[in-house]
Structure 1
Amino acid sequence: MTERTLAPGPVLTRADSALRELGAALRDGGYRFTTVTPATHERVNRRPENAWANDPRGVFGWSRPFTDETLSPEIITLMDAAGIRERHRDGWRSLVRFSTYDDEVFVHSAFPTAAADAVFLGPDTYRMADAAVAHVEACRRQVRRAVDIGCGTAAGAVVVAKRLPGAEILAVDINPTALRYAQVNAALAGTGGVRVRHSNLLDDVDGDIDLMISNPPFMIDPAGRAYRHGGPNGHELPVAIIDVAARRLAPGGSLVLFAGTGVVGGEHLFRRAAAARLAGTDLSWTYREVDPDVYGEELDGPAYAHAERIAVVVLTATRAG
C-alpha cells in the first residue's frame, strides 16, 4: 500500500486534524469498508460472533465495541485526540465510522444513526456518486462551478473535484456536523477545489452553477431525522432542488439528482411531482430507475402503507446551451 502524503488544506481544529490523520492512517494501512443499509447493518451485528470488534473494520465500519488490544496504540492516540472514543461497558466504542469509495476514506456518524444531526454515508451515496461521475465523464462542456447540495460527507463533491481539476466545487449543507465532516473529508482527499459552506439549498450561494449534484433526504421518516426525511410525501425536498436548478443553472448546466420514491399502483410519485415542476421550465430531463426495490422494511410501517414498493432513481435535467 502506497502511503499518501496529506495535502495542505483548510485550517482544521486540533480535534479535526486528528480525525483527518486517523482517516489517513486507516487508508494508508489498507482499510476498506463499504457501508450497508441500516437494516443489513443491524442484522449482521446481531450475530453472536459479531458482539465485539476484532479489527479496525469492526471498530470503524461496523461500529462494534472494542477493547484496548483491538487497535494499535497510535490509532487509539489519534482517536483520543479527535475525541471520538467513548466508554462502552467493559470496553470502548467509536463515535464515528469510516467508509471507502473511489480510493478515498470518508468519516461519518457511527451506527445507529439516531441523532438529529447524524451524517450518513451508505448505498445511496455510492449510487449518487456513480451517477455524478458518469455525468462528468460524459460531459462535453467545461464545468467551472459545481455544487453538491445537501452534501453530507461531501463524498459527491470530492469525487467530482477529482475529475474537474481547477473547478470551484461547493459543498453545502445546513447540518453543522455534516459541514465538519465534509471539511475533514475534503482535506483528507486533498481536493483543494472543494469549498465547504453553510447554505439552505443555494440561499447563501451567489451566481449561476454549471453542475448541481444532490442526494437529498427522500424518505417519509416519522422521526423527522434531517438526513432522512424528505417531507410529508418523501419527495418535497427533491422537488425543491428541481426548483433551485430551474432558477440557477447556467446555460448548458445540468442537475444530477439521486432520489427515491414510493410506487403506488405502478406509478412513481416523485416522477409525477417532478414532471409537474419541470413542465414550466426550459430544462430537458431524463429519469431512470436505479433499483426497483429498496428499504422494504419500511413497507411494514404506516408511512408507506400506501406503497407497493420503494425505488431509487436518478433524474438529470439540463438547460440548453
Structure 2
Amino acid sequence: MKITEVETDSTTLAEVLVKHGIEVRKGAPVVAVYGRDRDILRALRVEERPVLGISPPGVDAKLAALELREVPLLAEFVFEIIDVIRLEAESGGQRATAINEVALLSAEPATFVRYSLYVDGAFVFNDMGDGCLISTPIGSTAYALSAGGAVINPRAHVVEVVPVNSALRKPPHVFPSDVVIELRDVKSRSDVYLIGDGVEKIKYRGVAVVRKVGTARLVTRVQNFQQAAGLPPSALLVKKIIEERGPLAASEIAALSGLSPRTVRYALERLRKAGLVKSIIDPTDPRRKVYMA
C-alpha cells in the first residue's frame, strides 16, 4: 500500500508530512503517531484504523515503520498492514488492555507470587516466582523475550505464557490466540496487579481472565528486495557486515570491510534509501551514528 493522507496530533510531524505532499486531515484512513514504542502502543490499544509509527531521529522504535528524516522518501516506500492481537485482562470488574503483554506482578519488588494457570477451564500448571506474562507475538520481542520467552512471528495467531523467574522452572507455553487464560489462586505477601503494556494497571481480585478482544492494525514497511538486488557489491558487503556484526559505526564498517570511508558512506546511503539499514545515535558516543539492519 501507498500512504497519501493521514491523521496525526503531532504538529511537528504534520508540518513535515505536508511539506512533502502528504495530506493531513481528521478522519484520514491512517493514523500517524510520532514518538517511541510506548506512543505507538497507546494508539494501537484504542485505534481501529491502521497505525503508522514514525520515530524521532536516532530513536530505535521497533514498532515504527520509518524515522522522521525518512519522510521525504515516504512516496518511495511500500507498506503493508499487520493485524496484531489486542488482549484484555479482567479482574474484579476492572479491565486493562494490552498489545505487547499482560503482566501479573507483585506490587513489591522481589516478592514471590504463587498462581495457578488454567486455559479454557483446564488446569495447566502451578508456579511461584516473580509472576508471569501473557504475551502477543508483537510483545514476544519485548518483556517476554527478556523473561526467557521465544521470538514469535508477528503474523502468528498465538499467545505465549511466560513465567517470570520461575522457582519451579516452568517453561513458556504457547496457545492458540482464541483461548481464555485464567490466573487463579494467586497469593503474595503484597498486592498483586495485572499490568497492560507496562501502563494500564488493575488490582488482582479473586481471579484474572485474559483473552483476545480483536486486533489492532500496525503499518509496517516492506523491504524493497528489488532495490537490494540492484545494489553494488560494496553495498551488499556492508549489508552483510551490519547484519552479522551490527550495530556498527561507519569507521568500524570500513575497518572490517577494507573499503574506503567514502565507499562505505555511499553504500550506507544506498542501503538506507532501500530500507535495509537504519541509523541511531551511538548511546556510548552521541557525536556519532551506528547502523543496524
> TM-score normalized by structure 2?
0.26
Compare the two structures and name the one with the higher strand fraction: 2
Compare the two structures and name the one with the higher helix fraction: 1
Give the greater-gyration-radius structure (CA). 2
Greater RCO, CA 8 A, separation 6+ = 2
> TM-score normalized by structure 1?
0.25
